[in-house]
């Protein structure tokens, strides 16, 4: 094969892949802004022919049907990320100060919790919560979401604290500062960026969570559950609109954090 042929072949592949990646999202967006006659026909058009915002207006006008799940999702996600930071910031700091073998072992143990199928945690947790009165509450859901969020937050933070210059901290200790003082006055303020990245990831992983939410809610659904409700009712426009609304914040965060999304965080925590 000569060069030009090779190059066209390469760019054709890239083009096809990009289309495959974008097309499903395009269809979802298109349905959420199309008039029903664009969708319920034998051959729906590829482009939006009759643009409408009425589906969004309907969803927003449905009042507490929409705003209750929204606020539950937002409150749960915010609470989950705050709680996860409270638990993982000190722990990750400690892990990053251990020697290699202890650090590696602890990270592995925390990673192993990701291997457990969520359904086998969700079932007993939901039974306990029904007995303990935490079922169908925001706090109960936060606790369950933490199981999913903590390992990820911990990985990111171990990476953050491992790359913190140890000399700075040592200097403070030599100058007579206590461990706590050094941690709060030196390590924490200088690691705020990394910590906020961990917080945002925690938010995202709680925001779109589906399994624990479906085991632990009955009358007060979160956004993904509300969307599932519309799917099972066959309401194509509401489900598409909800899907778009759920996706928007995650999409914005992902783009903002693009350069942090790399498995290097994992290996960074392991090697360090």
Partner 1 sequence: MNRLLSFFPLLARRARKKHFELICILPLLIFLCVLTVVPIARTVLLSLEPVEGNGLTMSHYRELFAQEGFRLAMFHTVSIAFLSLSIEIGLGFLFALILSKSSRVIRFLRPVFILPLAIPTAVVGVMMSYLFSGQGWINRILMDLGVLNEPVYWMSGGWRSIVMVSLADSWKVTPIVMLILLSGLQSIDPVLYKAARIDGAGVFYTFRRITLPLLVPSITAAVIIRGVDAFRIFAVPLILMGQNLKVIGTFAYLEYQEYNNPYTSAASSVILLGMILCAVLIYLKTAGRKGIAGA
> Which positions from 170 through 189 interact with partner 1, judged by CB under 8 A?
179-180
Residue 74 vs residues 77, 111, 158, 205, 260: alpha-carbon distances, Å:
5, 27, 26, 12, 23
* Smallest separation (angstroms) from partner 1 to the CB of 54: 19
Q: What's the rounded Cα separation, in Å, for the pair 149 and 154? A: 9
Q: Is the distance from CB of 68 to CB of 53 less than 8 angstroms?
A: no
Does residue 70 bind partner 1 (CB under 8 A)? no
Q: Is the distance from CB of 149 to CB of 206 less than 8 angstroms?
A: yes
Residue from 61, 116, 168, 192 in contact with partner 1 (CB under 8 A):
116
Residue from 135, 155, 201, 207 in contact with partner 1 (CB under 8 A):
207
* Smallest separation (angstroms) from partner 1 to the CB of 165: 19
Instruction: Please identify which residue in the block is written with the tokens 């996860």.
Output: 84
Does residue 156 bind partner 1 (CB under 8 A)? no
Q: What is 18-43 written as a DSSP string?
A: HHHHHHHHHHHHHHHTB-HHHHSSSS
Does residue 17 bind partner 1 (CB under 8 A)? yes
Which residues in 240-259 contact partner 1 (CB under 8 A)? 240, 243, 246-247, 250-251, 253-255, 258
* Smallest separation (angstroms) from partner 1 to the CB of 169: 12
Does residue 13 bind partner 1 (CB under 8 A)? yes
Residue from 56, 104, 164, 210 in contact with partner 1 (CB under 8 A):
210
Does residue 35 bind partner 1 (CB under 8 A)? no
Residue from 228, 229, 235, 260 in contact with partner 1 (CB under 8 A):
228
Which among 255, 240, 256 has a CA at the least distance from the CA of 59? 240
* Smallest separation (angstroms) from partner 1 to the CB of 172: 14
Q: What SS3 string covers 140-185?
A: HHHHHHHHHHHHHHHHHHHHHHHCCCHHHHHHHHHCCCCHHHHHHH
Q: What's the rounded Cα separation, in Å, for the pair 203 and 62? A: 26
Does residue 233 bind partner 1 (CB under 8 A)? no
Which residues in 77-96 contact partner 1 (CB under 8 A)? 87-88, 90-91, 93-95
């Amino acid at each position: 094969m000569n060069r030009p042929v090779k190059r066209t072949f390469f760019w054709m592949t890239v083009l096809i892949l990009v289309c495959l990646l974008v097309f499903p999202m395009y269809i979802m967006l298109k349905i959420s802004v199309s008039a029903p006659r664009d969708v319920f026909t034998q051959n729906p058009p590829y482009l939006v022919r009759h643009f409408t915002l009425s589906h969004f207006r309907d969803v927003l006008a449905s009042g507490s049907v929409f705003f209750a799940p929204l606020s539950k999702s937002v409150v749960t996600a915010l609470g989950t990320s705050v709680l996860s930071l409270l638990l993982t910031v000190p722990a990750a700091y400690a892990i990053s100060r251990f020697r290699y073998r202890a650090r590696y072992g602890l990270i592995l143990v925390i990673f192993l919790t990701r291997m457990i199928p969520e359904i086998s945690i969700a079932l007993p947790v939901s039974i306990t919560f029904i007995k303990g009165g935490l079922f169908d509450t925001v706090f109960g859901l936060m606790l369950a979401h933490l199981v999913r969020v903590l390992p990820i937050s911990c990985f990111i933070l171990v990476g953050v604290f491992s790359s913190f210059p140890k000399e700075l901290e040592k200097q403070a200790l030599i100058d007579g500062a206590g461990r706590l003082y050094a941690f709060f006055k030196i390590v924490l303020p200088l690691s705020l960026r990394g910590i906020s990245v961990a917080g945002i990831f925690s938010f995202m992983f709680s925001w779109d969570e589906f399994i624990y939410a479906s085991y632990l809610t009955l009358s007060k659904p979160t956004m993904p559950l509300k969307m599932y409700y519309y799917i099972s009712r066959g309401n194509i426009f509401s489900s598409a609109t909800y899907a778009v609304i759920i996706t928007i914040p995650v999409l914005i965060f992902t783009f903002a954090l693009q350069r942090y999304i790399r498995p290097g965080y994992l290996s960074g925590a392991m090697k360090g």
